[in-house]
């Protein structure tokens, strides 16, 4: 068995980045390849390591939901304050790099899978601009990334549901209300300790797709609107949307979008008529420090109860920060 002579468990062992599985370790020093030193050098004495993952590279660089990433191995360390993520392209002339994302800068995340391929994507604020960091990995490691996201949500700000007399429940008592079994299984793995569920409903998610139309004389783009099954779950920490892909068989491609409520300034629901059916557009604007246009999410087949509640969301967005958020202590 390989033994290192330093505190880095695998120092001296060359990693190709093509190991067979995603795995977790107790401390960044146990990560393989360059990731151990890169992440360990970023750690501060004041922060606590909560979860660490090594993810080997896969050949795919895109997902059915439009998320893209370079082919690289990655190290992910989740502390009580931030994500520290290293990437190694394993290519000559390309140096490994490390990034960190403070929890207070997080806007949203995506996680999902299509058969053997999975992804983990963080949207965050960096110098008043929004950026995204995506890792594509083998689906055999999905549970590790789900746990990493639960750690983040554990430290996220929460709405005090008691102040607004909202009917909320623990995940264990609420999760059976989600009708779609596949969506239920995805969503429940992303609910953190003490997170409270408020509302769920099923609907159709509307995707906008640009189609290239060619004729003998010219080529033009045409916008098509496609729908897929979706489940919305509102908690005291996030607006979560599980949606099927539109280019795969039902149930084989699912993505969950989690929008952190502490960065949301306003939510407005618009209703439009199109081809004899109603379309509901949820327009989400973020706090002033976020230089980003409104996020538009479109649905069909929303029931009256869900419509009423979505219209009421603005009334409880000005919540008191939770005491378990370390950056507000």
Alpha-carbon gap, residue 309 to 235, rounded angstroms:
13
| CA separation for the pair 200, 261 (Å, rounded) | 16
Helix (H, G, I), strand (E, B) or coil at 30: helix
Phi, psi of 305 (to 5 degrees): -60, -45
Listed by start position, the domains of the chain span 23-154, 171-316
**Percent of residues in the chain assigned helix, strand, coil, to nearest 5:** 20, 40, 40
Q: Which two tokens stand for residue 112?
A: 């999902």
One digit per residue, the tens of pLDDT, for the chain of length 329 reads 445 568 889 887 889 999 999 999 999 999 999 999 999 999 999 999 999 999 999 999 999 999 999 999 999 999 999 999 999 999 998 999 999 999 999 999 999 999 999 999 999 999 888 999 999 999 999 999 999 999 999 999 888 777 666 778 899 999 999 999 999 999 999 999 889 999 999 999 999 876 666 655 666 667 778 899 999 999 999 999 999 998 655 457 999 999 999 888 888 888 988 777 889 999 998 886 666 667 899 999 998 888 888 887 777 665 444 434 444 44
Return the CATH fold of 171-316.
Answer: PH-domain like (2.30.29)
23-154: CATH number: 2.30.29.30
Number of residues that make up the chain: 329
* H helices present in the chain, as ranges: 35-40, 142-154, 171-174, 181-188, 304-312
Q: Do the two domains 23-154 and 171-316 of this chain adopt the same fold?
A: yes
CA distance 182 to 228: 14
Query: What residues pair up with 126 in beta bridges, in sequence order?
Result: 129
Rounded Cα distance, 260 and 144, in Å: 21
The CA distance from 172 to 178, in Å, is: 12
Helix, coil or strand: residue 203: strand
CB 277 within 8 A of CB 295: no
């Amino acid at each position: 068995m390989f033994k290192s002579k330093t505190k880095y468990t695998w120092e001296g062992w060359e990693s190709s980045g093509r190991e067979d599985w995603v795995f977790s370790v107790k401390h960044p020093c146990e990560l393989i390849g360059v990731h151990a030193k890169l992440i360990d050098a970023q750690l501060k004495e004041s922060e606590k390591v909560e979860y660490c993952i090594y993810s080997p590279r896969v050949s795919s660089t895109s997902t059915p939901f439009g998320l893209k990433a370079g082919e690289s191995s990655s190290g992910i360390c989740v502390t009580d304050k931030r994500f520290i993520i290293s990437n190694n392209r394993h290519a000559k002339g390309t140096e490994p790099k490390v990034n960190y994302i403070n929890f207070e800068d997080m806007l949203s995340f995506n996680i999902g899978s299509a058969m053997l391929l999975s992804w983990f994507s963080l949207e965050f604020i960096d110098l008043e601009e929004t950026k995204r960091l995506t890792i594509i990995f083998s689906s055999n490691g999905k549970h590790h990334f789900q746990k990493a996201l639960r750690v983040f949500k554990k430290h996220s700000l929460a709405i005090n549901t008691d102040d607004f007399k909202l009917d909320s429940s623990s995940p264990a008592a609420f999760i059976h209300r989600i009708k779609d079994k596949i969506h239920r299984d995805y969503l429940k793995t992303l609910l953190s300790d003490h997170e409270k569920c408020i509302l769920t409903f099923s609907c159709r998610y509307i995707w906008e797709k640009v189609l290239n139309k060619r004729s003998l004389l010219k080529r033009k783009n045409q916008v098509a609107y496609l729908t897929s099954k979706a489940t919305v779950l509102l908690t005291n920490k996030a607006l979560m949307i599980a949606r099927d892909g539109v280019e795969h068989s039902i149930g084989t491609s699912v993505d969950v979008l989690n929008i952190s409520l502490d960065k949301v300034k306003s939510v407005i629901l618009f209703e439009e008529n199109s081809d004899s059916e109603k379309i509901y557009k949820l327009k989400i604007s973020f706090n002033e420090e976020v230089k980003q246009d409104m996020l538009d999410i479109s649905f069909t087949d929303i029931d009256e109860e869900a419509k009423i509640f979505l219209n009421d969301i603005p009334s409880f967005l000005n919540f008191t920060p939770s005491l378990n958020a370390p950056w507000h202590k």
